[in-house]
Amino acid sequence: MTLVKTKIGRRAFIRNTGLASGGLVIGFSWLASCKMTPEQVNSLPDEWFELNGFLKVGDNGMVTIMSPNPEIGQNVKTSMPMIVAEELDVAWKNVLVEQAPLNTDIFTRQLAGGSQSIRQGWESLRMAGATARQMLKEAAAQAWGVSADEITTKDGILTHEGSGNSAGYGEMASAATSIEVPEEVQLKDNGDFSIIGTDKKNVDGKKIVTGKPLFGLDVYKEGMLTAMIVHPPAFGMKFKSMNAESVKSMPGIKDVFHFEAYPEDVEKQWSDGGAIPELVAIVGNSTWECMQAKKALNVEWEEVSKLESTSYHDEALASLLEKPQEEPARKDGDVDAAFKKAAKIVESTYSAPYLAHNTMEPMNFFAHVTPEKAELLGPIQTPEFLEQTLVSRLGMPAEKIDVMMTRMGGGFGRRLYGTFAVEAAAISQKMNAPVKLVYSREDDMTQGTYRPSYKVKYKAGLDENGNLIAWHVRGAGTNDDLIFENRFPAGAVDNYLAEKHSLETNVTTGAWRAPRSNFIAGAEQAFMDEVAEAAGKDPLEFRLELFDRAINNPVGDPEKNDYDPQRYAGVLKLVKEKSNWDAETGESRGVAAYYCHNSYVAQVLELENGGGDIPRVNKVTCAVDCGIVINPLAAKNQIEGGIIDGIGHSMYSALTFEEGKPEQSNFDTYRLMRNSEAPKNIEVFFVDNGIDPTGLGEPSLPPAIAALSNALYKAKGRRFYKQPFINDKPPLVG
Amino acid sequence: MAKFTLNINGTKQEVDVDPSTPVLWVLRDHLNLVGTKYGCGIAQCGACTIHLDGTATRACMLTVSSVGNQEITTIEGLSKEGDHPVQKAWLEVDVPQCGYCQAGQIMTASALLDKNPNPTDEEIEMAMNGNICRCGTYTRIKKAVKLAAKS
């Protein structure tokens, strides 16, 4: 046990005694509306006692744990409560989980992004469980007249060996509510974990496979209207005029109007990045009726800024690659001098297109705004920022705004930008009615907030012994300068120069799963293979040599480097062993390693030999260092998904523009990976080091692109520089 | 508007809608059966898969007027207690990530196994190719279909 100060906000312990003693089930209406299974109903207690904002204990020993962060498929709704349950020391089978609404009084950082939920929630989740356990122990100690220190807990049972007393948590829950919140609590040692580190199935699994309402699009309320929006067809255009009269009389249509979703005086948050200020709203009784009206409506748009095409983006990015950065992002040694004396020089340029997020559940949100209050319910990764924008947009204090999160049909960064929820609120306010805003797939794909398009140029110099003596990277992206100058191989090369540029464009961009890393890892680790080959060295050993350098004799201030070379090398060594890298398999294999979002991942990807024009991925072996693994079953699912996501997008996907207009608007033209194109097998291995946990939503994606590209080189005998690889010339097909 | 009597999950349901309305929106907006999902509206993603007389069908392009007496089964009617072998296999393998596409995946998989109880890997892939999973649970989907086939 480790004794620690209780550091979660004391606000988490403000108890609503009315609720605690009233024995109410506090689940908010949305969740209460989801039918429970018979087993769950039978096991519900008569009374719940709230010990802190994270949990309540029932008189029968059942425990409800509030999952604070938004669930986008990263499975925090299972893994975060597991951490609370661990320190509470309750049997997992006696735990019910509820999604917490936005509550800044109790929770901190209710945000899904940056793979940070587990890493940043770790401490407060443990505290929540441990303080409640301590309070239950104190309650038992008072009841039995013994010292709390002598009481032990296990699976929700309190035991005092000396007196022979024993009680379930439920029996002490009522008394525990009047125990003072402890100043210090004991946390378990890693070796004592009985829930953390074990496979636990998705808490929403049964509801998902039986089609229960869980998602934002599944919200239906009494008197609710459906709304759709019409946004400009091209970036660089804005609303000019429309003739809505004939559409207004279509069946089921309540209103059609032009509105300012974001008037100029609205105080925007970063989460409003891709906001389109003016839109047209169609409001009606049902989705299909709105869709029909949308089709019939004729809107005129006017050009307000340059209508950009993909050819323009490509040329403009390419010309930025010719331009030095005035003050380089990082400069160690002298690359120019090193290139002059280098025995070999390798140079390559890599590029990637825009990507849409394409969550399977299109953007949507429910809003009911009245003069007295605003109720917002739907899929949002950043509820707190949404609330702040709504304060300004609706002219209402935060206390009058309730934001609740549904389970989300995917996020990938798209739902960090809750502009659609602000639009829903604005429409509801105008209609003075409850409204669910629904984006069609086409709206969703052409609305913006894309993964930027990128280009990067590398140049490396080797001495006569094949040692890397110089590394120069210059990158550029649309509205994003791409380069992480302090990431590997910074610190492992004497002469290092990193330069970056951003091309300002009117095509809106945003975070897309593993921002920047989702391109730069693929480029850097593919280029590393080219350099290793020029050095005549095994690509995996070549990387290990560089990590040795960063460990033993780092260049510059090692504190500046964004990575721990020991842990980086660790995953490479693990994947080397698990993939049997040194054995000649006859298969085309590629290796890559990357560090982002605080976790380390190395992969060996093996392509099927022979056969078709597009080689199928036979197997991916993946080694991960994310510290303590909370839920291995779900952790592996995230890692598998990231790998498939990386392979799928780099191989098949692209969003292109002609005169500001996205050329793809649905899955008939925007290609996503299908089942028969996915890797046949993925094996995941974790480094077991007991370090505090980091996240997994993003880190497995970036290296998969490079492992694929390096394996493609082996299979096809040429390098792939341009994503999507399927379009790289000469074509893979034929 | 016109009245239609539909046979859904073994129950006759009457709706009064525009004849061009796709079954997807009849289920979701009019009958409160929201397990069938909207993903693309053009039969490309499979999120709206239902069974029409036992055959996996995309509900987003199936107009209500074309259904007639054919039997519609949705994810809510696949089994009474959520214990269809495919549903059980999905839970056992812990397939879902976000979960949004999974009802459609399950409907496609169950229709496949009804017609072909012991599909090969290639047959599974071909049958499941019409269902996009953006989270990338494809390897688990295949594993779950195989597990369901065994039971």
- The pLDDT tens digits of the residues spanning A185-207 come to 999 999 999 999 999 999 999 99
Which residues in chain B are contacts of A286 at CB distance < 8 A?
17, 21, 25, 29-30
Residue A31: pLDDT over 90:
no
What mean pLDDT is predicted for residues A533-552? Answer: 98
Neighbouring-strand partners of residue A404:
A377
A444 to chain B: closest CA residue = B40
Q: How far apart (Å, rounded) are the C-alpha atoms in residues A329 and A499?
A: 5
Q: What is the mean pLDDT of chain A?
A: 93
Q: In which residue are the tokens 């929630």 written? A: A121
Q: Chain-centre distance of CA A724, in angstroms?
A: 22
Subunit contact A73:B99, Cβ cutoff 8 A: yes
Q: What is the pLDDT of residue B12?
A: 98
Task: Give the other-Cβ count within 10 Å of B7's Cβ.
Answer: 16
Tokens of A223: 């008197």
- Kindly indicate the confidence band of residue A473, based on its pLDDT and cuts at 50, 70 and 90: very high
Q: A696-720: per-residue pLDDT in tens?
A: 999 999 999 999 999 999 999 999 9
Contact B73, B50 (CB under 8 A): yes
Q: Would you call A546 exposed, middle or buried from its count of C-beta atoms within 10 A (0-12, 13-18, 19+)?
A: buried
Q: Would you call B118 exposed, middle or buried from its count of C-beta atoms within 10 A (0-12, 13-18, 19+)?
A: exposed
What mean pLDDT is predicted for residues A383-406? Answer: 97
Residue A249: pLDDT over 60:
yes
Question: Closest by alpha carbon to A184, among A131, A133, A233?
Answer: A131
Compare CB distances from B125 to A412, A642, A676 and report the shortest one's residue.
Answer: A676
Residue B56: pLDDT over 80:
yes
Residue A12: pLDDT over 90:
no
The share of chain A scoring above pLDDT 70, in percent, equals: 93
What mean pLDDT is predicted for residues A439-464? Answer: 98
Q: What is the mean pLDDT of chain B?
A: 98
Neighbouring-strand partners of residue A63:
A57, A95
Q: What is the pLDDT of residue A690?
A: 96
Higher pLDDT, A141 or A115: A141
Kind and range of the H or E run holding A86? helix A76-88
Q: What is the ipTM of this complex?
A: 0.99
What mean pLDDT is predicted for residues A146-156? Answer: 97
Residue A568: pLDDT over 60:
yes
Question: Closest by alpha carbon to A410, among A443, A367, A352, A364?
Answer: A364
The DSSP call for residue A560 is: G
Residue A437: pLDDT over 90:
yes
Q: What is the pLDDT of residue A586?
A: 80
What mean pLDDT is predicted for residues A388-410? Answer: 97
Instruction: State the nearest Cα–Cα gap between A13 and chain B, in angstroms.
Output: 31
Compare CB distances from B132 to A288, A667, A681 and report the shortest one's residue.
Answer: A667
Residue A17: pLDDT over 50:
no
Tokens of A398: 């935060």
- Kindly indicate the confidence band of residue A10, based on its pLDDT and cuts at 50, 70 and 90: very low
Strands (E), A162-290: 165-168, 184-187, 225-230, 237-242, 253-260, 278-284
Q: What is the pLDDT of residue A728?
A: 86
Q: Name residue B147's amino acid.
A: L
Size of interface A-B (CB pairs under 8 A): 190
Tokens of A648: 């799928």
What mean pLDDT is predicted for residues A298-303? Answer: 98
Cα-based torsion angle of the residue sequence A127, A130, A136, A142 in order, rounded to the nearest 10 degrees = -90
Q: In which residue are the tokens 């993003």 written? A: A698
What mean pLDDT is predicted for residues A297-324? Answer: 98
Kind and range of the H or E run holding B93? helix B85-93
Q: What is the pLDDT of residue A22?
A: 30
Q: A485-528: per-residue pLDDT in tens?
A: 999 999 999 999 999 999 999 999 999 999 999 999 999 999 99
Q: How far apart (Å, rounded) are the C-alpha atoms in residues A332 and A554?
A: 11
Question: Closest by alpha carbon to A216, among A398, A401, A390, A414?
Answer: A414
A665 to chain B: closest CA residue = B40
Sign of CA dihedral A571, A575, A578, A583: negative
Residue A668: pLDDT over 80:
yes
Q: Chain-centre distance of CA A578, in angstroms?
A: 28
Measured over all CA atoms, what is the biggest interatomic distance in chain B, rounded to whole angstroms? 47
Tokens of A79: 């893994």
- Kindly indicate the confidence band of residue A299, based on its pLDDT and cuts at 50, 70 and 90: very high
Q: Would you call B16 exposed, middle or buried from its count of C-beta atoms within 10 A (0-12, 13-18, 19+)?
A: exposed
Neighbouring-strand partners of residue B134:
none
* C-alpha dist (Å) from residue B142 to A96, A289, A637, A680: 30, 37, 14, 9
Q: What is the pLDDT of residue A734?
A: 44
- Kindly indicate the confidence band of residue A33, based on its pLDDT and cuts at 50, 70 and 90: very low
Listed by number, the residues of chain B in 50-69 with a beta carbon closer than 8 Å to a beta carbon of chain A are: none
Q: How far apart (Å, rounded) are the C-alpha atoms in residues B46 and B57?
A: 9
The share of chain B scoring above pLDDT 70, in percent, equals: 100
Q: How far apart (Å, rounded) are the C-alpha atoms in residues B60 and B40?
A: 8
- Kindly indicate the confidence band of residue A584, based on its pLDDT and cuts at 50, 70 and 90: confident
